Amino acid sequence: PRVVYIKFRREPGADWSIGLKRNIGVHLASGEFIAHFDDDDLYAPVYLSSMVGLLTESKDNAQAVTLSSWFIFDVKTERFGFCDAIAFGWMKGRGADHPDVKSWAYGYGFSYVYRRQVALDVPYDSIDL
């Protein structure tokens, strides 16, 4: 894999929205797939191959995948845990289609992997998370 790091200097307080930054990244990318990473997260060595494999082997021509569960470590409390947004919703009496559950399961950008063409066709809104 080839990784390119590009830095745009911005005046303090004049930062671009996360949507604009993602759209710029999509336009600068040259591969078929886009993967989002948070700079303070750790990813398994097989993360990318697993996520891209889900897309390439999809029988229903999936265009995007994301994690609905993940492990966390809180540095302040030194506690390790597991987040499963959909299971948490069920525990609270909310089904997978409930707006809160959808927000928890699909609202975090750290685990998006999708086909680049999708983001070219439907760019991100220029908003912050």
- Sequence length of the chain is 129
Task: Measure the CA–CA gap between 116 and 125, rounded to whole angstroms.
Answer: 16
Average pLDDT (83-103) is 84
Helix (H, G, I), strand (E, B) or coil at 127: coil
pLDDT at position 96: 80
pLDDT at position 49: 95
Please report the DSSP string for 86-99 in residue order: HHHHHHTT--TTSH
Distance of CA 127 to the CA centre of its chain: 15
pLDDT at position 1: 57
pLDDT at position 40: 77
**Which tokens hold the place of 18?**
């996360």
Task: Measure the CA–CA gap between 98 and 90, rounded to whole angstroms.
Answer: 10
Q: Give the pLDDT band of residue 129 (cuts 50, 70, 90).
A: low
pLDDT single digits (tens) 15-72: 999 899 999 999 999 999 999 888 778 888 999 999 999 999 999 999 999 888 888 8
Average pLDDT (84-93) is 85
- What share of the chain has pLDDT > 90, as a percent? 47
Average pLDDT (75-96) is 87
pLDDT at position 53: 96
Element (H, E) at 117: helix 116-121
pLDDT at position 108: 63
Task: Measure the CA–CA gap between 8 and 17, rounded to whole angstroms.
Answer: 13
The residues pairing with 122 across neighbouring beta strands, listed in sequence order, are none
